Amino acid sequence: MAIIDKVSLNLSTKLGEKLNKSNEEIDVLNYGLFIFIHTLLGIILTIVTGLLTGMFIEIIVISITSSWFKRYTGGVHASSPERCLLIGLLLSLILSILTKYIVKVFDINTVMIISLLILAYCYYTLYRKCPVPSKNKPLKKENTRKKLRKKAFNLINMYTCLIILLYIIYTILNINIFKTIMISSLLGILLQNIVLTNLGSKFIYLLDNIFNIF
């Protein structure tokens, strides 16, 4: 059992016994504590990594964009919560470095052209793949699939509008933070779309095996 699982189970069991809860209520409490601990740990690690590397904005935007998108698109999961956090953090860090490079090297019009091409690819991937089931989320009900698919397209529409808006603001004000957020958002979207593909899934499984010490 993973460390986060053990912690949430231990806390929920002790709290449930103290409050005289039934086994079913303890299971619900355990699930809630697991989600809370996993999310809190992810936020803390992301913030600390961003501050230590000097890429706070990049890694935060990429992490939020991709994780929010994953809620509706589905996709492969690592074999443990700890590996999931580590892989997500590593990929966000790599893309943060790439963001800094793109901001320095490419002008805003080139970035916008690349953005439109990537967004077109993402729409195509969503149309073909979304939502992608996993072991933890089989998505057998057609009604659930339709709801997630609709939410995924609504979200990417919102992301597209955000990127266009940031492009316009940057062309007017010429402040790099808007360019940084624009590119970070785009790479966060791209990251989650790649994970939906067979090649992306194989890459995540490869990293999962590499980090099998966790």
Task: Report if residue 82 sits inside a domain.
Answer: no
pLDDT-derived band at 5 (thresholds 50, 70, 90) equals: confident
Quick one: pLDDT at residue 1?
47
| DSSP notation for the chain | --HHHHHHHHHHHHHHHHTT--HHHHHHHHHHHHHHHHHHHHHHHHHHHHHHHT-HHHHHHHHHHHHHHHHHHB----SSHHHHHHHHHHHHHHHHHHHHHHHHHS-HHHHHHHHHHHHHHHHHHHHHHPSBP-SS-----HHHHHHHHHHHHHHHHHHHHHHHHHHHHHHHH--HHHHHHHHHHHHHHHHHHHHTSHHHHHHHHHHHHHTTT-
Task: Report if residue 78 sits inside a domain.
Answer: no
Task: Report if residue 31 sits inside a domain.
Answer: no
Q: What would the mean pLDDT of 60-65 be, rounded to a whole number?
A: 95
Q: What would the mean pLDDT of 40-53 be, rounded to a whole number?
A: 92
Task: Report if residue 120 sits inside a domain.
Answer: yes
Domain interval for residue 200: 106-214
Structure confidence by residue, pLDDT tens digits, 82-105 = 888 889 999 999 999 999 999 999
Quick one: pLDDT at residue 94?
96
The total domain count for the chain is: 1
Task: Report if residue 71 sits inside a domain.
Answer: no
Task: Report if residue 5 sits inside a domain.
Answer: no
pTM of the predicted structure, to 2 decimals: 0.88
Task: Report if residue 163 sits inside a domain.
Answer: yes
Which segment of 116-120, 132-136, 172-176, 191-195 scores lowest on mean pLDDT?
132-136
